[in-house]
Copies of this chain bind each other. A is one copy, B any other.
């Protein structure tokens, strides 16, 4: 059977990318929903998450909690790695995928389904490098994806074959606000949301104005 969604816009669904074994990529969608809290407001992630993946969900929540207008103490945030299967999910390379799915569900703003992404995330919004970007981009291309978001620090790791290079656009990013600017649809509301996110995590983005020129690539 076939679960791939590679075009249209859907709220709360993002095409993530993972590595299987040594040298093979796979598209792994993440879905999110926000519901009234039963107790004190929890983040509930399913898909047999291993330690690094669980921690990645906690890092994402640091950003969501600062960003959201919604009072999260009255909401349960459900995050689902839809086709994780028996093996489950390890690593933190789905962090920007999870962040995008949750923000889409919270704000009711659709996500482009012709787009896939991979990237780790700092608690302050920096997009951090991950492994296997080339295999992941090829998996996205095979699934009919047009655009892949990767961490800027992984830019030099991309070595995709010519057949895919023509089909797919690879966009390197260094902050979660860039991810949302590309992945969400609905220009007006989106730009307002991206601005809000930038102003809140301004400290991190403003680091270039310091006494030197830090280069977290």
Interface residues of A (CB under 8 A from B): 1-13, 31-33, 35-44, 46-48, 51-52, 55-56, 58-59, 61-63, 65-66, 72-73, 76, 78-80, 82-83, 86, 108, 110, 113-114, 122-124, 126, 128-129, 153-154, 156-157, 185, 203-204, 207-208, 210-217
**Residues A55 and B47 in contact, CB atoms below 8 Å apart:** yes
**Residues A1 and B213 in contact, CB atoms below 8 Å apart:** no
Copies of this chain present: 6
**Residues A10 and B204 in contact, CB atoms below 8 Å apart:** yes
Complex Cα spacing A73 to B86, Å: 32
- Minimum Cβ distance to chain B for residue A153 (Å): 4
**Residues B41 and A58 in contact, CB atoms below 8 Å apart:** no
Contacting residue for A33 out of B31, B40, B123, CB 8 A: B123
**Residues A65 and B40 in contact, CB atoms below 8 Å apart:** no
Q: A1-B153, A214-B7 are in contact. Are A80 and B59 (CB under 8 A)?
A: yes
Contacting residue for A1 out of B185, B207, B217, CB 8 A: B217
Contacting residue for A211 out of B8, B59, B66, CB 8 A: B8
Q: List 13 A-B contacts (CB under 8 A).
A: A1-B156, A2-B217, A7-B214, A8-B213, A12-B124, A13-B124, A31-B124, A33-B62, A33-B123, A37-B73, A38-B72, A62-B76, A110-B207
**Residues A128 and B214 in contact, CB atoms below 8 Å apart:** no
Complex Cα spacing A52 to B81, Å: 12
**Residues A204 and B12 in contact, CB atoms below 8 Å apart:** yes
Residue on B nearest A82 in the bound complex, by CB: B122
**Residues A113 and B38 in contact, CB atoms below 8 Å apart:** no
**Residues A31 and B211 in contact, CB atoms below 8 Å apart:** no
Q: Determine the chain B residues whose CB is within 8 A of the CB of A203 once the complex forms.
A: 10-12, 108, 110
- Minimum Cβ distance to chain B for residue A108 (Å): 7
Residue on B nearest A52 in the bound complex, by CB: B48
**Residues A65 and B39 in contact, CB atoms below 8 Å apart:** no
Q: Determine the chain B residues whose CB is within 8 A of the CB of A39 once the complex forms.
A: 40-41, 73
Q: A122-B31, A123-B33 are in contact. Are A82 and B210 (CB under 8 A)?
A: no
